[in-house]
Amino acid sequence: MNAEFVNPFIGGLLNVMETMAQTKLTPGKPKKKQSDVAKGDVSGLIGMVGPNVRGSMSITFDEALALTIMERMVGERPEKLDAEVADMVGEVTNMICGNAKRDLAERGYEFGMATPIVVSGHQHTISHQVDGAKIILPFMCDEGLAHLEICFDK
C-alpha cells in the first residue's frame, strides 16, 4: 500500500487525539494484517468511496484508553464501555477520516465517507469489505494501545 494513502490517516489520528483528547500517541511499526480479529476492545469503522479510490479505515482502542479519551473529551469517566463511549469512538473515527479526506483531496483523491459503525467486545471482528491489503499500525501511550487499520483497493 502506498504511503501516500496511509500518512494522512496517521496524521489525522495523532491530530485528533492531541487536540480533542490531550493524548499523545507514539506510533509503532506498521505491518500487514492477516485476520479480521480486532486488537482491542472497541472499534470504529468507516468506508470511503470515490471515483478513483475505495477503502475503509478503523481505529481500535483498549478499554482503558477509550475511557480515558472519553474522560478528557467530556470531563467524566464512565465505569465501562457503554453507548456514550461507542458514540465517542464513532465521532473520533469520523474526525480522523475527515482529516485524511482533506489531505487526500489536495492530492487528487476525492471520496465520500460512510457513517461510521462501532463494534465492541473481546475478540470482536472488523470486516473491511475491500479487496486490498490491510495495514495495521499500533500506537502506544501510558493509558493503553490504539490500532489503526487501513485498507484500500489500490
pLDDT in tens, 121-138: 989 999 998 888 899 999
Banded pLDDT at 1 (limits 50, 70, 90): low
Phi and psi of 14, rounded to 5°? -60, -40
Greatest alpha-carbon pair distance for the chain in Å reads: 44
The alpha helices in the chain, defined as continuous H runs, are: 3-21, 63-74, 83-105
* pTM for the predicted model, two decimal places: 0.95
Residue 113's identity, in one-letter code, is: M
From 32, 34, 8, select the one nearest 106 (Cα to Cα).
8
Other CB atoms within a 10 A radius of the CB of residue 72 amount to 15
Q: Is the separation of the CB atoms in 12 and 97 below 8 Å?
A: yes
Predicted confidence (pLDDT) per residue in 26-72, tens digit: 999 999 999 999 999 999 999 999 998 899 999 999 999 999 999 99
Q: Where in the chain are the domains?
A: 3-152
**Fold type of domain 3-152:** Chemotaxis protein chec (3.40.1550)
